[in-house]
Chains A and B, each alone.
Chain A
């Protein structure tokens, strides 16, 4: 799906606002779409040609998880998405993340990442993901999820 990882994940505490992560090539095959829809339960007949928009976000987040260190207990707290046009299955996409914020408060890490998906020079979708990692050993009952 993506370029093979060519480096170790970037340490989370070294990520600063404005940092751009290296661009990554992403190619979504029909088999990728079918596997995703099998897991989510949506009817695959609805997506014979295009990538479900939130699948694109999910795979972009997969890129981020390959690029940045996975903090213990890391949770996804918010998501924004904008489609500029439908993405066709098999289109060569380039994904690039930028750090919008990264801070530690009361031992918990809060970070926001922006990403663009491009086909050539055309931006086809954007997303913003907010994540949080609690202090080590802390249990979270409600208010956030993964």
Chain B
């Protein structure tokens, strides 16, 4: 598969997704759930797991480079703002370079208001 010039995934993350993710990922940090700790915590209310937002990036990269993402993918990201459920998140991968068989993408995730949630880069060595 050749590297697509861009790929985009949009999905709504609501509290039920977050609760299911907490169980599936074995991440029961109370700041993600409807708990007193979340409301007393650093964000003042429950916040989606950052790794849930990153999962959309992984999905976009699979769209962009196919099986190469799982076989030889890499990323480096930083979260910029919290995602408060329910939130409509768009993950966008834009091809930055395709050199010597390595496709590198700029990564950004935004919420429905345009707030940047995550930025970084991702790459994959194409077969």
Contact = CB atoms under 8 A, between A and B. Distances in A.
Contacts of B57: 54
Interface string A66-87: 1000101111111111111111
Contacts of A6: none
A72 B43 CA distance: 12
A79 B26 contact: no
Contacts of B80: 142-143, 145
Interface string B6-41: 000001000001101101111111011000010001
Given A52-B58, A80-B75, A73 B70 contact: no
B interface, how many residues as a size bin? Answer: 35 or more
A79 B6 CA distance: 22
Interface of B: 11, 17-18, 20-21, 23-29, 31-32, 37, 41-44, 47-59, 62, 67, 69-83, 117-118
A110 B101 CA distance: 36
A118 B28 CA distance: 25
A37 to B, nearest CB: 8
Contacts of B75: 79-81
A106 interface: no
Contacts of A77: 78-79
Interface residues of A, number: 52
B72 A83 contact: yes
A109 B92 CA distance: 31
Interface of A: 1-2, 32, 35-36, 38-42, 46, 50-55, 57-59, 61-63, 65-66, 70, 72-87, 130, 134, 138-140, 142-146
Mostly, the A contact residues are mixed
Contacts of B82: 140, 142, 144-146
B74 A82 contact: yes
Nearest to B62: A46
B42 A42 contact: no
A39 B19 CA distance: 8
B42 A138 contact: yes
